[in-house]
Amino acid sequence: MKNTVLKIEDLEVSINENKILKGLNLEIKEGEVHALMGTNGAGKSTLVKTLSAHYDCVVTNGVITYKKKNLLDLDVSQRANEGIFMSFQSPIEVPGVNNSYFLKTAMNEKRKYAGLEEIDAMEFLKHVKEETAKFNIDRKLLQRDLNDGFSGGEKKRNELIQLLMLQPDLILLDEIDSGLDVDAIKTVANVINSMLDGKRSILMITHYDRLLELIKPDFVHILNDGKIVKTGDYSLALELDEKGYEAIGIKDESK
Amino acid sequence: MKVNEIKGLNLPNKKDEEFLKINLDALFSYDFKDVQTYEFDIMGLKTVDDEKSYESVLFDITRSIDNKQKVITINKNIAEPIFLIHKIKEDETFFTNSLKIEVAKDIKAQVVEVFVSSSKNSAYSVNRTFELDENSSLEYVKVQDFDVSNSFIFNSYVEQQESSTLDFTNFEYGNGFILNNFINNINKENITYNLNGLVKLKDDTNCSNLIKTVHNAKSSLSNIDYKHSLKDNSKAIFKAKSIVNETALFTKAFQNTNTILLSDDATIFAQPHLEIYIDELEASHGATTGSLNKEQLLYLESRGIHKELAYEILLKAFEEKIAHNIKDEIIKDFIETYERSKYV
């Protein structure tokens, strides 16, 4: 039997004292790909932000167990070093911090956390070169400052480089496909699919069926008003795409 | 010797607008055991009497103790910057030093001065005059690293001829009581005057920068940019006044200061001030104060970089902006690798 990576029980989360998640349950096992869909304001982003310990999210009830640890006891960087990676919907620009320096620091922090030796600049460059070459990702992004002045597509590609280098165990993708053209979406899918090794798990938020076509989810969850109201397989995403939320009995709160 | 007992010296009063918030009493009433002129270890520098009359009384402190001024004339292009290192080691002593740097027509020059003290209860009063001839350019970088219990007064007076450029960058690192005073009357056309500073303070350090720039001639640029990074109980004062007179059409006059307060007790008093008498110009002034950007912190942490290191990385990025503006690569390297321990 596959091990459970993440178990969320009865999770309630508020942002600015507004209750967004209202008793959410979800279990993700090793190697599984879960897609999270739902109307605007349903709480999708709040869920992934909560998992990565975003300061906006206040957990008022519930338990989150990650690799048998109480996730809520871990701070942002500890969660990252334990293998949780959240790809930001809008990656933050950090002028003055070189992208390559940032990534090497992040890798070495993770290695230190795991009790491994740090890698030097040469090893780092070699590793980056190998990984980016596989997917034809432009390495010039690494010479620039972190996300500074990057286009939307460049920011997302930069998130992919980080994914490849940090090799997380649980990948949270918050609309990684937003603002990307078809070719860029293919690159995203290629990177993600290459990382699916039967152990690594994914929780992805998407509105776009194209990405789901390319990365076939094992489970599709529909989130509405802070709770998962429907779970199915890939066919649920297809049904949703065809008929819309109302036809499957979900009221769009944002309308 | 007490500064406030020097005959004929009219010291600034703390009631003067310019010196509000700066308490000079402790320095001026302190009884120093000795007074000395700090001598350069360069042979054969020309010496002149400094007969100029300055509009700021702060210049008169050095002059009333010793009005001799050394002169460095740069009349050919030199490949490497000139480094002048001042080390104050004697306790209880009031030092003075006065230097004029002249850059000849069409010449490019670079000068770095480092002021370090490891003494107790000493003070250093320094006057600098910069004379830039037509179409010359000078990159001048000052590093101040004075120890606690020491005081430092630095006065800068600039005279630029047409089409000359002065890039003036200051690094305020020390722990003492610091007062910098910059005056530039822009009386010629097409002048560029960039005045930048990083004020990085901790403990009970007190650092003030008084900046006065007057545009009297057409088509010149003054750009003042200061970053403050303030820890503990430190206090910084930034008062920049730029005046653009009627004769100074098409001037560009910019002032900017950004401050990051790293403790609840750190204080910044920032007052960018523009006084403009014409319409045909570009001008702006701004001051920001805050802590580090929490979204950026979160982003770094979310990739496994622990909070303290993320904080350090972002602070360094903020502080390095000033060093990045330095044009000369040798000076840039010098600043990037600067360590106080090499000089004390």
Using CA coordinates, name the residue in chain B closest to A93.
Answer: B296
pLDDT confidence of residue B257: 97
Contact B31, B78 (CB under 8 A): no
B298 interface with A at CB cutoff 8 Å: yes
Flag whether A255 is in a domain: no
pLDDT confidence of residue A91: 94
pLDDT confidence of residue A39: 85
pLDDT confidence of residue A108: 96
- Yes or no, beta carbons of A77 and B304 under 8 Å apart: yes
Mean pLDDT of chain B: 95
Highest mean pLDDT among B19-33, B38-52, B129-143: B129-143
The first and second tokens of residue B155, run together, are: 């006065």
pLDDT confidence of residue B247: 96
pTM: 0.83
- Yes or no, beta carbons of B309 and A75 under 8 Å apart: no
Any bridge partners for residue B89, and if so which? none
The first and second tokens of residue B26, run together, are: 């402790």
Query: Residue A152 to residues A93, A140, A155, A179, B208: CA-CA distances in angstroms?
Result: 11, 16, 5, 7, 42
> What mean pLDDT comes out for the span B242-258?
97
pLDDT confidence of residue B2: 93
Of A134-138, B60-64, B257-261, minimum mean pLDDT range: A134-138
Shortest distance, CA A103 to any CA of chain B (angstroms): 8
Query: Residue B260 to residues B11, B142, B236, B317: CA-CA distances in angstroms?
Result: 32, 22, 11, 12
Shortest distance, CA B223 to any CA of chain A (angstroms): 21
pLDDT confidence of residue A172: 95
Instruction: Tell me the per-residue pLDDT of A30-66, one tens digit each, with 9 for 90 and over.
Output: 999 999 998 888 999 999 999 999 999 999 999 999 9
Mean pLDDT of chain A: 91
Using CA coordinates, name the residue in chain B closest to A101.
Answer: B313
- Yes or no, beta carbons of A80 and B313 under 8 Å apart: no
> What mean pLDDT comes out for the span B34-39?
94
Residue boundaries of the structural domains of chain B = 3-292
Any bridge partners for residue B254, and if so which? B223, B284
User: Which residues in chain B are contacts of A105 at CB distance < 8 A?
Assistant: 305, 309, 313
pLDDT confidence of residue B277: 97
pLDDT confidence of residue B290: 92
Give kind and range of the element (H or E) at residue B344. Answer: none
> What mean pLDDT comes out for the span B86-98?
96
Residue of higher predicted confidence among B161 and A247: B161
Using CA coordinates, name the residue in chain B closest to A48.
Answer: B302
- Yes or no, beta carbons of A105 and B305 under 8 Å apart: yes
Percent of chain B with pLDDT over 90: 90
pLDDT at A247 over 60: yes
- Yes or no, beta carbons of B306 and A86 under 8 Å apart: no
- Yes or no, beta carbons of A96 and B321 under 8 Å apart: yes
- B53-68 b/e (C-beta count within 10 Å ≥ 16 → b): ebeebbbbbbbbbbbe
Shortest distance, CA B312 to any CA of chain A (angstroms): 11
Domain containing residue A57:
4-248
* CA–CA dist A170, B30 (Å, integer): 65
The 3-state DSSP class for residue A231 equals strand
Instruction: Tell me the per-residue pLDDT of B174-220, one tens digit each, with 9 for 90 and over.
Output: 999 999 999 999 999 999 999 999 999 999 999 999 999 999 999 99
pLDDT at B128 over 60: yes
A89 interface with B at CB cutoff 8 Å: no
Of the candidates B304, B318, B321, the beta carbon closest to that of A106 is on: B304
Instruction: Tell me the per-residue pLDDT of A52-101, one tens digit each, with 9 for 90 and over.
Output: 999 999 999 999 999 999 999 999 999 999 999 999 989 999 999 999 99
Question: Residue A252 — pLDDT band, cuts 50, 70, 90?
Answer: low
ipTM score of complex: 0.94
- Yes or no, beta carbons of B299 and A88 under 8 Å apart: yes
- Yes or no, beta carbons of B300 and A166 under 8 Å apart: no
> What mean pLDDT comes out for the span B277-304?
95
* CA–CA dist B156, A101 (Å, integer): 38
* CA–CA dist A36, B116 (Å, integer): 61
Percent of chain B with pLDDT over 70: 100
pLDDT confidence of residue B112: 97
Highest mean pLDDT among A194-198, B222-226, B319-323: B222-226
Of B15-19, B79-83, B214-218, minimum mean pLDDT range: B15-19
- Yes or no, beta carbons of A55 and B305 under 8 Å apart: no
pLDDT confidence of residue A209: 74
pLDDT confidence of residue B195: 98
Instruction: Tell me the per-residue pLDDT of A147-178, one tens digit each, with 9 for 90 and over.
Output: 999 998 899 999 999 999 999 999 999 988 88
pLDDT confidence of residue A99: 95
The CATH number that applies at residue A149 is 3.40.50.300
pLDDT confidence of residue A15: 95
pLDDT at A208 over 80: no
Question: Residue A253 — pLDDT band, cuts 50, 70, 90?
Answer: low
pLDDT at A254 over 70: no
> What mean pLDDT comes out for the span B61-76?
94
- B14-36 b/e (C-beta count within 10 Å ≥ 16 → b): eeeebbeebebeebbebebeeeb
Using CA coordinates, name the residue in chain B closest to A80.
Answer: B304
The 3-state DSSP class for residue A129 equals helix
Flag whether A253 is in a domain: no
Flag whether A254 is in a domain: no
Torsion of CA B238, B244, B245, B247, to 10 degrees: 150
* CA–CA dist B42, B37 (Å, integer): 14
pLDDT at B82 over 90: yes
